[in-house]
Amino acid sequence: MEGRFPDNKSEIPRKCAAFVAEQIDIPVSAFLKFFDYSTDNKTVKNQRAQIRSYTGFRECTVADSDKMTKWLRNNILHQGSTEEQVRAATYQRFMELQIEPPERTRIDRLVKSAITSHDKLVLEKIMDNIPPASIPWLDELLINKEDEPPGHEALNMSDLREEPGKANVKNLIREMDKLDCLRQIRLPKNILAGLSPGMLSIYKQRVATEPLRELRRHPDRIKYPLLAIYCRLRTEDVTDNLIQMLFQITHGVDKHAENRVIKNYVADIRRVRGKPELLFRIAQAAVDNPDGTVRDVIFPVVGEQTLKDLIDEFKASGSYFTQQVLSKAASSHKHHYKRIFPEVLRVLDFQSKAPALKPLMKALKILTTKDQLDDKDLSKLPIEGVIDKEDKELVFKVDDDGKKSVDEIKYRILFLRNLHKHTKTKEAWVPGAKKFRNPDEDLPADFEKKRAQYYSDLEIQLIRRT
């Protein structure tokens, strides 16, 4: 049951037509061929009236249409529904109210009217909250590159629409430029408060695909709110891109360093079998001849080459291997990423409320103070809670005088590894991000109020505590 009469014969379900045809003992094809479903037909009108009376339905009035428009604005359109979804919801609502919906053309007009009036209310609300100082920055986004004055290097909408590309320093800087451009607009953080992500996504997609000339033609009351929506959501995208690229580069440096170290060892390494037996033979020979030399006592029972193979195997699999990988990574970091990583960390402003991450946040503050730390800064860097237990010895260096101090480059690398780990678990987050946002923001603002509805949407049973 759909709660409405079919608009034409093609909408009549085949089973229904077959059932009626069987009652009057004619083929279903003949029934459909000669069946007159014109609403001008008096018999059809009378039959419809009888069906309404039997089912408890009534015809739609102008007042019903007005109420439906309001209901769509308050209950459907704020979710970000497409036009087809709004149309389906309209038919469903009419059926629930036992009102026969108007003809298709009137339904289409009703749906379009509801969408238009809803858009108008939403965009007006956003327009009222755009600071006057932000308007020139929004206008600048719509300037054509060929119309820019000489020396003008500001980004425009075409630049903001670009995908981030491969994770490298060039693209990292490009994303930072985008984020700087978006932040210069200085839109209020709560300008989109109360608006559903689905609805905002539709507006964003509209701006992302509309030609610049079309965006420029819109009246201000439409143009500026649309740009504001796009810029706020694009800020989240670019922030996420920066975070992902930072950690992709960090992981790539580590992986490249590891491959280089493995390549150096793989040609020479030979796995030594029976190590427990070899250890026994060495120990037995040493105990039996405590005053003998290694060449006279050990080499005859094990062999010099076997001992060399043991040394190579340890270097390729133990802490020595880890140290070599870190040293190679530090070399790449020093020559390519030393200046850009602190700048990216300053721009992103990682945060955390976890007590266990206080040392990590303290280290972040020190590391972003300046690109090159002095001895005083290095002495303040926390080790516990930042550097993993197995890596603690790797982060120190000893000078010619035997003085032990933190190796800044290695510390930065190990710090980034840990920051990445805690960001993936959402213990650390970045303000203004979407994927890497504060986990407290994951729930909708009206979650407590509409908990039952959200559970229903997710097809999860809501168990109420007594």
- Domain ranges in the chain are 9-116, 132-146+153-239, 253-441
Closest CA to 251 of 364, 333, 321, 130: 333
Percentage above 90 pLDDT, the chain: 41
166-219 confidence digits (pLDDT tens): 999 999 999 999 999 999 999 999 999 888 888 899 999 999 999 999 999 999
Q: Which DSSP symbol is given to 298? A: T
Percentage above 70 pLDDT, the chain: 85
pLDDT on residue 39: 62
pLDDT on residue 269: 45
pLDDT on residue 465: 57
Closest CA to 200 of 234, 175, 162: 234
Other CB atoms within 10 A of residue 426 CB: 16
Pairwise pLDDT comparison (427 vs 145), residue with the higher score = 427
Dist. CA 348–CA 176, nearest whole Å: 9
Query: Is the per-residue pLDDT at 431 higher than 80?
Result: yes
Specify whether the CB–CB gap between 388 and 463 falls below 8 A.
no
Residue tagged 């959402």 (tokens): 426
Query: Is the per-residue pLDDT at 52 higher than 50?
Result: yes
pLDDT on residue 2: 63
Q: Average pLDDT, whole number, for the chain?
A: 84
Query: Is the per-residue pLDDT at 78 higher than 50?
Result: yes
267-301 confidence digits (pLDDT tens): 544 454 565 666 666 677 777 777 777 676 677 87
Residue 190, both tokens: 């709560």
